Amino acid sequence: MSDQPVSRRDFVGTTGTLAFGAMIVPRHVLGGPGYQAPSDTLNVAFCGVGGMGMSNWTQFLNENTVAVCDVDFPYVERSLGGRTRQRTVGNPPAGMNPDQVTAWRAQQEQNNQRSYDEGQKLQAAYTKAAKYADFREMLDKQKDIDAVVVATPDHLHAVIASAAMQAGKHVYVQKPLTYSVHEARTLAKLARDNPKLVTQMGNQGHSMDGTRRIREIVQSGVLGPIREVHVWTDRPVRYWAQGIPRPGASGPSAQMAASQVREQANVDGVPRRWNVRTVEQAIINEMAKDVQTPPPGLHWDLWLGPAPDIPYHPVYHPFSWRGWVDFGVSAIGDMGAHLIDQPFWALDLDFPTAISSSSTMWGGPASNPASYPLAMTTEYEFARRGAMPPVKLFWYDSGMLPPRPPFLPDDLSLQGGDGGGGYFVGTKGILTYETYGNNPKVYPASTAAAAEKVAKSVPRIEVPHEVNFAQACKGQTKASSPFEYAAKLTETMLLGIVALRSGQGKKILYDGANMRVTNANDANQWLTRQYRSGWAV
């Protein structure tokens, strides 16, 4: 046996599988049932915890939080305060009898107590952890990190993940994996070149039973050959604005412009015309009223990262960044990972061969838009895969729905859970599903009966998506959605944006093997982005 000391990383990482049996004392010997030995605990760092990152964090509370990196700690602490507050039980839904009300209240009280206890654990972990505003400083100084969780705005995902991987850390990255096709390829290559690193994208539906059941049914062939899939979401409508112009400057000049608009509203008694441009100017005037100095504690330059040097405005941070071209990738980037995932996996799809998109108008000038269109549709074409025929996949967002499919009963609507869903069209029937792959159903009844007999063949994941990642880091299982898979799914989603930037309704032909649009050379510029100096991936 070697006399060389065993590092903690070797001990916890995937290469330590053979050493576990000899070196780890059984948990029940050390501390009874449920005890987690320190040697079986990950040291985790979190980048971006004011929003979704805090939800991810709750699934790592059995691990050791060693560092938290965020560019806006006052916002983080406000979010944390919301989770540490005791909640009261509200009024029960109408129509319940007394016994139902009692049961409902008991369940609500239990849920509130669970949330409060979780919030207290988050607060304790936050208090103990080292704090950083710059992820580069964190990776340089914090030598005890095993894994990094990235839940920042989209434009920072690849910058942080690539730096963490190059530093030898396992990485969990929220969806979409990256902002651009180029970045997806870069992270995929880093994962291939570093096979000991565990990677995972945060498309939690991939670990859920519904998505796995969909794959089993589709792969069984009971639906017949599938040549068409439709997918939709109501995002961004319920969550953030798109199709709006960029904020203008605040101050006296902006106030004067707003005053001039009011003076011109009724020239010679003639009412102003409320066309689209009038509405845009009204939005600009309203945005100009906001304070445009970064609030105390916000490191705006670090928030921008690789993006252009755009002045701060609260319309970007917090949360609303997703609709702006420089920071997010619209609804297809937000929800595609939860809705395109199911057909991509179930049908063994590879890169699409052709893509076309159309939309409502962009926000700001079409030649240099500020925000994504309010609504868009995309058509993807995929080549034959073995015995499976070519297939077209259609995307709809902003609440638009596809045509009703054959076999769907007349009394059923298409709107799915959490504002989205999808359906596969086979020659013998259809399979519908909701967001995250939930609640898959097959029609007609005869095909549904055949689907019921399809055996379970895809392994089930009995723990949350984040816990699956943590277990994979310890060599206990495999990651559910590693970059090997997630990068290709992300690239496919982002090609819908590439097609839209190339022109309304224009079909681009894509050579996935060489990452190149072959029939429109100008379109290739949208496969990557212009990086600010010092931030390139």
Q: What is the pLDDT of residue 251?
A: 45
In degrees, to the nearest 5, what angle opens at C-alpha 78 toward C-alphas 90 and 111?
Answer: 35
Q: What is the pLDDT of residue 264?
A: 57
First-to-last alpha carbon distance for the chain, in angstroms, is 42
- Average pLDDT on 496-524 reads 97
Highest mean pLDDT among 49-53, 338-342, 413-417: 338-342
What CA–CA distance (Å, rounded) separates 42 from 48? 19
Residue whose tokens read 């985790």: 44
Q: What is the pLDDT of residue 5?
A: 41
Q: Would you give the DSSP letter of residue 254?
A: H
- Model pLDDT for residues 188-205, shown as the tens digit of each residue: 999 999 999 999 999 999
- Model pLDDT for residues 186-245, shown as the tens digit of each residue: 999 999 999 999 999 999 999 999 999 999 999 999 999 999 999 999 999 889 999 999
**Where is pLDDT greater, at 336 or 25?**
336
* Average pLDDT of the residues of the chain: 90
Q: H or E element: which one contains 79?
A: helix 73-83
In degrees, to the nearest 5, what angle opens at C-alpha 8 toward C-alphas 7 and 10?
Answer: 65
Q: What is the pLDDT of residue 3?
A: 41
**Where is pLDDT greater, at 95 or 44?**
44
DSSP string, 277-328: HHHHHHHHHHHTTS--SPPTTB-HHHHHTTS--PPP-TTTTTTGGGGBTTT-
Percent of the chain past pLDDT 70, that is, above it, reads 89
CB 440, CB 205: distance < 8 Å: no
CB 75, CB 121: distance < 8 Å: no
What CA–CA distance (Å, rounded) separates 398 from 376? 8
Q: H or E element: which one contains 355?
A: strand 354-359
Q: What is the pLDDT of residue 268?
A: 67
- Average pLDDT on 514-521 reads 97
Which residue in 323, 494, 328 sits closest to 398, CA to CA? 323
Q: How confident is the model at residue 260 (pLDDT cuts 50, 70, 90)?
A: low
Q: What is the pLDDT of residue 176?
A: 97
Q: What is the pLDDT of residue 272?
A: 81
- Average pLDDT on 134-153 reads 97
Q: How confident is the model at residue 124 (pLDDT cuts 50, 70, 90)?
A: very high
- Average pLDDT on 390-411 reads 96
- Model pLDDT for residues 5-54, shown as the tens digit of each residue: 434 444 344 443 433 333 444 444 455 555 566 668 999 999 999 999 99
Q: From the CB of residue 124, how many other CB atoms can be counted at a distance below 10 Å? A: 12
Q: Domains of the chain (ranges plus CATH)?
A: 38-205 (3.40.50.720), 208-241+327-459+485-526 (3.30.360.10), 248-289 (no CATH)
- Average pLDDT on 486-498 reads 98
Q: H or E element: which one contains 468?
A: helix 465-473
- Average pLDDT on 316-335 reads 95
Residues 6 or more apart whose CB falls under 8 angstroms from that of 139 comprise 145, 148, 163, 164, 167, 169
Say whether pLDDT at 55 is over 90: yes
Q: From the CB of residue 189, how many other CB atoms can be counted at a distance below 10 Å? A: 13
CB 340, CB 320: distance < 8 Å: no
Say whether pLDDT at 324 is over 70: yes
Q: What are the structure tokens assigned to 391, written together?
A: 């297939």
**Where is pLDDT greater, at 96 or 260?**
96
Q: What is the pLDDT of residue 19?
A: 36
Residue whose tokens read 């939800």: 55
Q: What is the pLDDT of residue 2?
A: 40
Q: What are the structure tokens assigned to 102, written together?
A: 């009692």
Q: How confident is the model at residue 248 (pLDDT cuts 50, 70, 90)?
A: confident
Q: H or E element: which one contains 221?
A: none
